[in-house]
Chain A
Amino acid sequence: MPSFKQALGASSLQGSEVTTMALTVYRISTWIKSPRPYLMLIGFAFFLGFWMLSVEVWQLPRFVDMPGPTEVFTEWFSEDPYYGLSVYTPEYYKHIGISLRRIAFAFFLATGLGVPLGLFLGWSKTFREFIFPLFEVLRPIPVLAWVPLAIIIFSGSETPVVFLTFLASFFATTLNTMLGVESIDESYSRAAYCLGASRWQTFVHVVIPGAMPYIFTGLQISIGVAWFSLVAGEMVSGQYGLGYVINTAYMMIEYPKIIIGMITLGVVGYTTSAMVRMMGDYLMQWRVRELALGDN
Chain B
Amino acid sequence: MSAVINENAGSLDDVTDGAISIKDVVKIYDPDGAAVMAVDHCSIEIPAGEICMIVGPSGCGKTTLLNAIAGFHGITSGSIHLDGELLCGPQKPQAEPGSDRIVVFQNGALFPWKTNLDNIAFGPMMAGKMSKAEIYEKARGMMADAGLSGTENNYPGEVSSGLRRRVEIVRALMNDPKVLLFDEPYRALDSLTKSVMHEALLEIYYRNKVTIFFITHDLEEAIFLGHRLIIMSSRPCKPKKIVEVDIPHPRDYSVLTSTRFREIMNEAKDVVHEEAQKAFEAGEKEG
Contact between chains at A15 and B105 (CB < 8 Å): no
For the complex, count residues of B whose C-beta is within 8 A of A: 36
Interface 0/1 of A261-296, CB less than 8 Å to B: 000000000000000000000001111011001101
A188 adjacent to B109 (CB under 8 Å): yes
Q: What CA separation (Å) do A197 and B109 show in the bound complex?
A: 14
Contacts of B71 in A (CB 8 A): 193
A17 vs B117: C-alpha distance in the bound complex, in angstroms?
14
Q: Contacts A195-B102, A196-B123 given: A205-B111 contact, CB under 8 Å?
A: yes
Given contacts A209-B113, A290-B158, contact A196 B127 (CB under 8 A): yes
Residue in A13, A185, A187 with the greatest tally of chain B CB atoms within 10 Å? A187
* Chain B, interface SS category: loop
Interface flag for B97 (CB, 8 Å)? yes
B59 within 8 A of A: no
Q: How far is the CA of A4 from the CA of B236 in the complex (A)?
A: 50
Asked if A14 contacts B154 (CB within 8 A), the reply is yes
Contact (A296, B160) CB under 8 Å given A187-B109, A190-B109: yes
- On whether the beta carbons of A201 and B155 are closer than 8 Å, the reply is no
Chain B min CB distance to A294 (Å):
4
What is the bound-complex CA distance between A205 and B111, given in angstroms? 9
Query: Which A residue's beta carbon lies closest to that of B183?
Result: A187
Q: Is residue A10 contacting chain B, with contact meaning CB distance below 8 A?
A: no
B126 within 8 A of partner (CB):
yes
Contact A17 B153 (CB under 8 A): yes
A198 interfacial contact with B, CB 8 Å: yes
Residue of A nearest to B118 (CB): A205
Contact status B103-A286, CB under 8 Å: no
The residue on A at minimum CB distance from B103 is A194
Among B116-157, those with CB < 8 Å from A are 122-123, 126-127, 149-155, 157
Point out the residues of chain A lying under 8 angstroms from B160, CB to CB.
296
A201 cross-chain contacts in B, Cβ below 8 A: 126
Find chain A residues with CB under 8 A from B123 CB: 195-196
A contact residues around B154 at 8 Å (CB): 14-15
> Which residue on A lies nearest to B168, using beta carbons?
A191
- Nearest-CB residue, chain A, relative to B127: A196
Q: Is B280 an interface residue (CB 8 A)?
A: no
Find A190's partner among B98, B105, B115, B150 (CB 8 Å cutoff): B105
CA distance A209 to B112 in the complex (A): 9
A195 touches B111 (CB 8 A): no
* Residue A212, interface by CB 8 Å: yes
- B residues 80-116 near A (Cβ < 8 Å) are 97-99, 101-103, 105-107, 109, 111-115
A195 touches B157 (CB 8 A): no
Provide the bound-state CA to CA distance between A285 and B115, in Å: 10
Q: Is A210 an interface residue (CB 8 A)?
A: yes
B72 within 8 A of A: yes
| Those 10 A-B pairs whose CB atoms lie nearest each other, nearest first | A290-B157, A15-B150, A196-B99, A191-B109, A195-B123, A209-B113, A193-B97, A187-B109, A286-B155, A197-B126
18 further A-B contacts with Cβ under 8 Å, apart from A185-B109, A194-B102, A293-B158, are A14-B151, A14-B154, A15-B151, A187-B106, A190-B70, A190-B105, A191-B109, A194-B101, A195-B122, A196-B98, A196-B123, A206-B111, A284-B113, A286-B114, A286-B115, A286-B155, A289-B155, A293-B157
A-B contact pairs, 7 of them (CB 8 A): A15-B152, A17-B153, A192-B126, A194-B70, A205-B111, A289-B155, A290-B112
